[in-house]
């Protein structure tokens, strides 16, 4: 397995969060240095460049690049209270 490639700049904090869906590494990304749009798996809307958000991946085995997901902070916090969007299934 290749080592994980680093996330781009703008990362301010990293922590581990536990929930009913397991343990996750969560990195907060400041909006000032984000230059790419991402699709949030919680709401299926775009996270526009310049928008602060979080990047998550399974804590076990550090996850792979394919496991990383960019979420709106509110969507990440609400993931246990609502069902997945059609793209998350």
Model pTM? Answer: 0.76
CA distance 36 to 2: 24
- Predicted local distance difference test score (pLDDT) of residue 2: 43
Cα–Cα distance measured from residue 85 to residue 89, given in angstroms and rounded to the nearest whole number: 7
Contact (Cβ atoms closer than 8 angstroms) between residue 33 and residue 50: no
What pLDDT digit, counting tens, does each position of 14-71 carry?
Answer: 899 998 888 999 999 998 878 899 999 999 999 999 999 999 999 987 667 889 999 9
């Amino acid at each position: 397995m290749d080592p994980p490639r680093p996330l781009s700049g703008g990362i301010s904090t990293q922590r581990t969060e536990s929930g009913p869906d397991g343990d996750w590494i969560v990195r907060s990304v400041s909006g000032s240095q984000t230059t790419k749009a991402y699709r949030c798996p919680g709401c299926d809307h775009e996270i526009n460049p310049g928008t602060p958000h979080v990047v998550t991946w399974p804590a076990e085995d550090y996850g792979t690049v394919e496991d990383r997901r960019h979420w709106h902070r509110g969507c990440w916090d609400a993931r246990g209270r609502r069902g997945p969007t059609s793209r998350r299934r």
